[in-house]
Structure 1
Amino acid sequence: MKPTPSDDPKATGPESLTFTLHDTPAPMRDYSAAQSRRGRITMLVILFACALPVIASYFTYYVIRPGGRTNYATLIEPQRPLPSLDAVPAQDMNGHSVPLTTLKGQWLMIVVAPAGCGKLCESNLFLQRQLREMMGAERDRIQKVWLVDSSEAVEPALAAAVAAPPAVATYRVERSALAGWLEPEAHHQLEESLYIVDPLGNWMMRTPANPDPVKLKKDVDKLLRASAWWNRAKDTP
């Protein structure tokens, strides 16, 4: 802005000034919308990067080799997530309510049997233990689980055996509640199979009744290899 003398020759006192406005600065650009869009894109990229290993491993296992892959156990489709405490009330052996969802983070190998644990139950618990040990260095990625579907006490000797490290996570549940989540093989009982749940908490595989350990080991090997780059053993206290 340039000051100019007044053109009035009769002006008295201090000289009057006038101002001519030549230009104004451009208004500051509003960057808020662009920043918001950039932030959303960055967040989506981060979420996709976190999910990519899981997506890729499942794609590899289920899609890439459908012709060359044979499963001994039955794949559950669609998969069924671990139920909430409301859907399947569960208690530890001290009577405290515990959501089954707390088991997420590891591969679960589940045996269902009453507290009396007859010959079939003992056989499945032994198979569960042997399969875990056969995984060698990867065994800590597997959690053994026994869902006790009756109200009587577990025999002290058996309770001590399943509590010995590496312990079997043992929970008491109602058999009728389990029916809304696990499903036995056709024409068989719930306790005749083992049930495999992935680290995301989805029941995704059921063994045949009286499973063959060698054939089942091959399935478990495949699962552990397919998930090796995104699943690690859960930290233990």
Structure 2
Amino acid sequence: MTQDVARAVQPGTEVPPRKRSMWSFWMVVLVSAAPIVASFFVYYVIQPQGKPAYGELVQPQRPVPQLQLTTLAGKPVDLRKYNGYWLMIVAGPASCDARCQNLLFDIRQFFIAAGDDRYRVARVWLVTDQGPVNRGVLEPAAGTVILRARPEQLKKWLPLAAGEHLEGPIWLVDPLGNLMMRFPSNPDPLKTLSVFKKLLYNTAAWKPKHLEPLP
């Protein structure tokens, strides 16, 4: 037996390398993913009290589809390139009346209130017609991703309550690219902000590998 071992380790004899254990690798993955998996599981699956404190969960979640969106200059844009952000989405005509302006103001305030988490949040205004955009809202909406959309496509993707129109609600898309929540038309700003900040807090451990630069 000893001679066999000696022959096995003689100079010039190649010893097959041992396969590296994957245990350490999977432990690192598990530890890194645990906070985000746990928070998503609690919020989406367990759902304390059966529902969020305000707003409505979209069940089942709806991945962002292939929408025919363009910038105001007519350049095609795939909304899915913004995966990694929490997307706050509102929709409305280009004329953007007082109701529309209130929504743009609200999501801007939510963005500001996110503090150090602002880099994880993107505001999106989906313009539902081809009319000229109200120039008066462009400055207050600075930093908002403004895209022209086809309303018939949006109605298939964005859930609406009975009697609701596209202009009115606020929708949330999570960083994984799933439409997961709707706040009602004329949403209560304080209650909406409270839920949104809780979502940001519960997912703070998840860091996207890449975030597409915003306009």
How would you bin the TM-score normalised by the shorter chain?
0.7 to 0.9
CA distance in structure 2 between the partners assigned to 1:172 and 1:102 by the alignment: 16
* TM-score, reference length from structure 2: 0.80
- Matched residue type, 1:59: F
Match of 1:230 among 206, 209, 212: 206
- Matched residue type, 2:205: W
Q: Could you tell which deviates more after superposition, 148-157 or 49-58?
A: 49-58
* TM-score, reference length from structure 1: 0.74
CA RMSD after TM alignment: 3.1
CA distance in structure 2 between the partners assigned to 1:94 and 1:136 by the alignment: 31
CA distance in structure 1 between the partners assigned to 2:51 and 2:69 by the alignment: 36
- Matched residue type, 1:143: A
1:98 aligned partner: 77
Give 1:57 deviation, angstroms. Answer: 1.7
Secondary structure of the corresponding residue to residue 54 of structure 1: helix
In structure 2, relative to structure 1, the CA distance for the partners of 1:64 and 1:142 (3 Å cut) is same
1:60 and 2:39 correspond: no
CA distance in structure 2 between the partners assigned to 1:105 and 1:175 by the alignment: 25
2:182 aligned partner: 206
Q: Give yes or no for contact 1:194–1:206 (8 Å, CA) kept in 2.
A: yes
2:194 aligned partner: 218
Percent identity, please: 36
- Matched residue type, 2:53: N
Name stretches of at least 5 consecutive residues in structure 2 with no aligned partner.
none
Give 1:134 deviation, angstroms. Answer: 2.2
CA distance in structure 2 between the partners assigned to 1:148 and 1:65 by the alignment: 33
Q: Give yes or no for contact 1:80–1:181 (8 Å, CA) kept in 2.
A: yes
CA distance in structure 2 between the partners assigned to 1:216 and 1:94 by the alignment: 32
2:148 aligned partner: 172
- Matched residue type, 1:190: L
1:110 and 2:92 correspond: no
Secondary structure of the corresponding residue to residue 190 of structure 1: coil
